[in-house]
Every structure is written in structure tokens, then in C-alpha cells.
């Protein structure tokens, strides 16, 4: 894979180059850039397969590089030191990211994933990401769900509930549709909680829109419109109750 690295800090570029050389031999670094405009230039010039993109670059962001490109036919791995908002958006788009200092295993995983992925899919995810970024924080209405072989863009109101299955998560959508996503429920709970989703249980995340009633049996159970019964674990009882009262 021919890769371009964009980061405003030279040491970060050096570091990533060194790590890639050592641990990801399938990656060839064809160019680096230290700011947005250089980044756009090298991408347009070299048309890489893979882009390592720093999110925070001085006063600008890596997202601006993406915005400025007419076509985005490459895989992207975001690299960031600390950027909660940016990462949130990246997660909603189900795109990959690395945190600095870079963990070698995560780097290898990300590169391997990118290697297997279809560029068209990534392009649509990037479109989605740029759309999301236009909106104010926590006001996402859609989320990208990475399935086995495709990406599903799901409106949040379509999601009835999520259920953990080891490191996977089942999404139960309206119309009895069920999607299995290869990320943990914890990750989705973090993403969707700001949108009002309720973590009723270690294994359950519920869209309050679909709650029909609170059943007192077994120390509290949520009855959904779909007829499903979702357990509420003790530690979550109070927060769930409060949240439901505020609706």
C-alpha cells in the first residue's frame, strides 16, 4: 500500500515512518506533509492507497484536507493526540483512528483492516464524516455501522435497542431487522448516550423512544413497544428512571 502521512509535527512523522517501516512492511511511504495545503497537494499528486491523517494541526484540522479533495479514493487512518470532538465524529463514521503515542498492535490492526477494505466504502464513510462535522456536536442523526462486508448508515431513530454479544454488538432496528457489528456495546453506549440512549444493563442499550412501560417484575424491566422485555440492572435503575421521567 502506498501511503501518505500528514502531521504538522516532524517528530510524529518520523515516528510513524519508523513504526510503519518496522511493523507494517506492506506499507510504502510515498510522501509526507506538515500542513493542510501540502497535504492536499501530495495526495492529488501521488494518489495514495492509504492516508495517515493527523486531526489537530496547529490552527487547522486534518478534516480540511479531506474537504478540499474532490475525490477520496483511499483508506484513511486518523492519528490524534487528544481530540474528543474529532474522534467522536470519526467513530460515528465507523472510521479507523490511532491515538498518540501510537500503539504498535493498533497500528498493525488498522493497517490490516485498511488493506482489506474497499476504497468505495471508505469514500462513502468519509462523505458521511464530513456531513457529520457540519452539524453541531452531539446532534448526530445517523451512525455508520460496520458490518461484515458493508457499511450501513442508520438513522438513530431507527435503532430500537442494542445488545452485547461478547466484543460484538447486535443492533435491533425497526421492522425486526437485526445487524451484527464488530464493535463492543461499550463503544456504542459512549457514542449514543449523548443522544439519549439508555444503558439499562451491561448488555443492553435502549432507545427511550421505544420504551412502552416499566414493569416492576424481577426488580424492574423495561417493556418495549416491540414487546421485548429488557432487564434493568440495579446500578442503572436510578439513572434510567430519571431519564424516563424527563421524557
Partner 1 sequence: MCVDSSAKNVYYANVFPNQPNTSFSYLPEVNQVSIQINFRKHIQIQRFRYTIISDNKPLVVNQPINEAQLKDTHAGGDEEIFRSTTLGAFPVKGKIITVLVYSIEKPLDIEKSVLYGKPIPKAEIKALLKRFATDKGVSYSPITDPKERTKLTFTEKDDELTIVKDKSDIDYLYYTSIKDKQSNKIIFESTAWQYGGYVTETNEFSPYLKIDKNIFKKSGDYEIIIQPSSLSRYNMPPKEMEKYTVRYTLAITLDQENYSKRELLIYAVVVALSIGLAFLVILYFIKKRNKKKLLENEQQKNTAKLQLNSIRSQLNPHFMFNALSGIQNLMNKNDIDNANQYLAKFARLTRNVLDDKELISLSQEKKLLDDYLQMEQLRFGFKYEIKHAEGPDLDITEIPAMLLQPFVENAVKHGISKRAADGKITITFARQKNDLVLTVNDNGNGFDTGKKNNGLGLQLSNSRIALLNDIYKENRFTLAIQSSQKGTEISLTLTDWL
Question: Which stretches of the chain bind partner 1, using CB under 8 A?
Answer: 8-12, 14-15, 18-19, 22, 35, 56, 58-59, 81-83, 99-102
Q: How far is the CB of 32 from partner 1 (least distance, A)?
A: 13
Q: How far is 24 from 75, CA to CA, in rounded Å?
A: 15
Gap between the Cα atoms of 71 and 58, Å rounded = 25
Nearer to partner 1, 56 or 184 (CB): 56
What is d(CA 197, CA 203) in angstroms, rounded to the nearest whole number?
13
CA dist 141 and 81 (Å) reads 27
- Three-state DSSP at 212 gives strand
- The DSSP symbol for 32 reads E
CB of 60 to partner 1, least distance (A): 10
Query: CB-wise, 101 or 235, nearer to partner 1?
Result: 101
Cβ proximity to partner 1, 57 vs 133, nearer residue: 57
Asked if 150 contacts 121 with a C-beta cutoff of 8 angstroms, the reply is yes
Minimal distance, residue 27 CB to partner 1, in Å: 15
- Cβ of residue 19: shortest distance to partner 1, in angstroms? 6
- The span from the CA of 150 to the CA of 147, in Å, is 5
Nearer Cβ to partner 1 (9/115): 9
Q: Which is nearer to partner 1, 8 or 163 (CB)?
A: 8
CB of 64 to partner 1, least distance (A): 15
Amino acid at each position: 500500500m502506498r501511503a501518505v502521512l500528514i502531521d504538522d509535527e516532524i517528530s510524529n512523522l518520523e515516528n510513524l515512518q519508523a513504526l510503519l517501516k518496522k511493523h507494517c512492511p506492506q506499507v510504502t511511504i510515498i510522501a509526507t506533509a506538515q500542513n493542510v495545503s501540502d497535504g492536499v497537494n501530495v495526495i492529488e499528486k501521488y494518489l495514495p492507497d492509504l492516508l495517515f491523517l493527523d486531526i489537530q494541526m496547529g490552527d487547522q484540522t486534518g478534516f480540511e484536507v479531506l474537504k478540499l479533495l474532490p475525490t477520496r479514493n483511499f483508506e484513511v487512518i486518523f492519528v490524534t493526540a487528544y481530540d474528543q470532538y474529532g474522534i467522536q465524529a470519526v467513530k460515528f463514521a465507523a472510521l479507523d483512528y490511532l491515538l498518540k503515542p501510537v500503539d504498535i498492535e493498533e497500528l498493525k490492526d488498522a493497517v490490516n483492516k485498511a488493506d482489506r477494505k474497499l476504497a468505495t466504502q471508505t469514500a462513502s464513510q468519509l462523505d458521511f464524516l464530513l456531513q457529520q462535522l457540519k452539524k453541531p456536536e452531539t446532534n448526530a442523526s445517523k451512525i455508520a455501522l460496520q458490518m461484515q462486508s458493508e457499511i450501513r448508515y442508520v438513522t438513530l431513530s431507527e435503532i430500537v435497542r442494542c445488545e452485547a454479544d461478547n466484543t460484538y454488538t447486535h443492533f435491533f432496528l425497526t421492522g425486526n431487522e437485526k445487524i451484527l457489528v464488530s464493535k463492543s456495546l461499550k463503544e456504542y453506549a459512549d457514542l449514543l448516550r449523548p443522544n439519549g440512549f439508555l444503558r439499562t444493563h451491561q448488555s443492553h442499550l435502549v432507545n427511550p423512544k421505544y420504551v412502552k412501560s416499566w414493569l416492576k417484575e424481577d426488580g424492574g424491566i423495561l417493556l418495549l413497544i416491540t414487546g421485548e422485555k429488557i432487564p434493568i440492572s440495579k446500578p442503572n435503575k436510578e439513572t434510567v428512571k430519571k431519564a424516563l421521567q424527563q421524557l
